[in-house]
Amino acid sequence: MYVRRLELVDVRSYARVGVDLQPGPNVLVGPNGVGKTNLIEALGYVATLGSHRVATDAPLVRAGAGSAVIRCAIVHESRELLVELEIVPGRANRARLGRAPVRRARDILGALRLVLFAPEDLSLVRGDPAERRRYLDDLLVLRQPRFAAVRSDYERVLKQRNALLRSSYLTKRVTKTAGDLSTLEVWDQHLAEHGAVLLAARLALVDALAPHLSKAYDAVSAGEGAAAIAYQATVPEPTADAVLAALRASRPQEVERGVTLVGPHRDELALTLGPLPVKGYASHGESWSFALALRLAAYELLRADGIEPVLVLDDVFAELDTGRRERLATLIADAAQVLITCAVEADVPTRLSGIRYTVRPGEVVREQ
C-alpha cells in the first residue's frame, strides 16, 4: 500500500497544497515550524480519524477557515482509491470513498493503514501505563475491528461500576450506613465477561508482538541490550471466572476507595532492557530507540498479517547516533512506502536517498 498523492485545503498552515508521493522512501526536508508534521498529521487523520498531536479537531483547521479538507489517493494491490475527508469542528466529519459519499466517516477506516512514529511516542516509554495500554488496544483494533466494540463496552461498564462504587462510597461517608450495592454483582459479571475477552486478546497480541520487538530493537541498537516486553495482568488468567474471583477478592478495598482496582484497565505492559526496566533506567537515546522499536514491531506484525502499511517517521533521525541511523535505514529500506521528515537533510542516511521534497511555508516542492 502507498499514498500516491496528498492534497490539503485549509489544513493547519496550508491554504492549499498538493504533493505527489512515490513508493519507497520519501524525504520531506524543511526548517522547524514550516509545516512538515502538518502533512504527516493529515495522513494520520485519514488512517485513524484523530490527530496524534491534539485531542480536538479545531487546531487542524487553518485559522480563519470554516472547514479543512484532506484528500489522498491510495494505491493498494495496484488499484487506486481516492479518500476525501472534510473536517468541520464541532460537527460530524464528512467523507467520500472513490467520489461516493459514505454514511459515516468511520467507514473510511481501513482504507489507509499507517504506522506513525513521532516525537510524542517517547511517552510510550516514559509515560503512564495508560499510554502503553492504548498502544496495545489501538493495534488490536487495527488488526481486528471487532475489538473496538469490546474496548468501548468494557470502558462503559467500568464507568458505570465506578459510578456505583463512588455513589455508595459517598452515601457511606454522609450517612455512615452502607450505600446501595445491590447491582454490583451484575456489573461484576459484565466487567468480567468483557474484561476476559480484552485480556485474552491483549495477551495474544503481546505474544505475537514480542519477537518482532526484540528483533526491531536489536536491529536499531546493533545488539546493545536485549529488549523485551511482558504483559503484567492484575488478573491471573483471561477467563471471566478469574476476573470475577479477582473482583470479589478486592471488593472490600474497592468499596472503601470507591473505584475498580482490578481488570485490564489496571494492567501494564512492562518494558525491559536486559535485566532492568526501561522507565527510570534507560538513557534518552535508549528510550527513544525502544519507543521506535515498539512502532516498528507493530509495523512488522501488520506486515506479517499480510497488510502492508505505510510507515511514517516524523523527525526520528535527528535523535539517533550515526550507527543507529544506518541500521534503521537498512531495516526499512524494503518498506512499500516510508515518509520521513527532517529539519537537516544530512541527518537522513544516504541509503534512503529516495525522493526528496523541500517544505517551505505553505508549499511543498519536489527536488529534481
Partner 1 sequence: MYEGAIQDLIDELGRLPGIGPKSAQRLAFHVLSADPIDVRRLAASLVKVKEVVKFCTICFNVAEDDKCRICRDPRRSDEILCVVEEPKDVVAIERTNEFRGRYHVLGGAINPLEGVGPDNLRVRELMQRLADGEVKELILATDPNTEGEATATYIALLVKPMGITVSRLASGLPVGGDLEYADEITLGRAFEGRRTI
**Residue span binding partner 1 (CB under 8 A) among the ranges 25-33, 84-92, 148-156, 345-353:** 148-156
Classified as helix, coil or strand, 313 is: strand
- In this chain, which of 120, 138, 153, 218 binds partner 1, going by CB under 8 A? 153
- In this chain, which of 36, 132, 133, 161 binds partner 1, going by CB under 8 A? 161
- Give the residue among 9, 70, 82, 83 at the shortest CA–CA distance from 41: 70
Asked if 227 and 269 touch (Cβ cutoff 8 Å), the reply is: no
Q: Check residue 241 for interaction with partner 1 (CB under 8 A).
A: no
CB of residue 191 to partner 1, shortest distance in Å: 10
What does the alpha-carbon distance between residue 82 and residue 100 come to, in Å, rounded to a whole number?
Answer: 10
As a whole number of angstroms, the longest Cα–Cα distance in the chain is 78
Report the residue number, 180 or 367, with the smaller CB distance to partner 1: 180
**Residue span binding partner 1 (CB under 8 A) among the ranges 59-67, 121-129, 142-150, 314-322:** 142-150
Q: Which helix (H) or strand (E) holds 157?
A: helix 146-175
For residue 239, give the C-alpha cell: 477467563
Report the residue number, 21 or 142, with the smaller CB distance to partner 1: 142
Report the residue number, 73 or 192, with the smaller CB distance to partner 1: 192
Q: Return the beta strands (E) in the chain as ranges.
A: 2-11, 14-20, 24-29, 68-76, 79-87, 94-97, 100-101, 114-117, 227-232, 268-273, 276-277, 310-314, 337-342, 355-360, 363-366
- In this chain, which of 190, 248, 266, 279 binds partner 1, going by CB under 8 A? 190
**Residue span binding partner 1 (CB under 8 A) among the ranges 72-80, 175-183, 222-230, 338-346:** 175-183
User: Residues 132, 136, 142, 147: is their CA dihedral positive or negative?
Assistant: negative
String of contacts with partner 1 for each residue 208-237, x by CB under 8 A: ------------------------------
What does the alpha-carbon distance between residue 135 and residue 137 come to, in Å, rounded to a whole number?
Answer: 6
**Residue span binding partner 1 (CB under 8 A) among the ranges 26-34, 50-58, 156-164, 355-363:** 156-164
Between helices 322-332 and 184-221, what is the axis angle to 10°? 110
For residue 363, give the C-alpha cell: 508549499
- In this chain, which of 54, 80, 98, 156 binds partner 1, going by CB under 8 A? 156
Classified as helix, coil or strand, 117 is: strand
Q: Check residue 106 for interaction with partner 1 (CB under 8 A).
A: yes
Report the residue number, 190 or 303, with the smaller CB distance to partner 1: 190
Q: Check residue 21 for interaction with partner 1 (CB under 8 A).
A: no
Note the residues at the interface with partner 1 (CB under 8 A): 106, 144-146, 148-149, 153, 156-157, 159-161, 163-164, 167, 180, 182-183, 185-187, 189-190
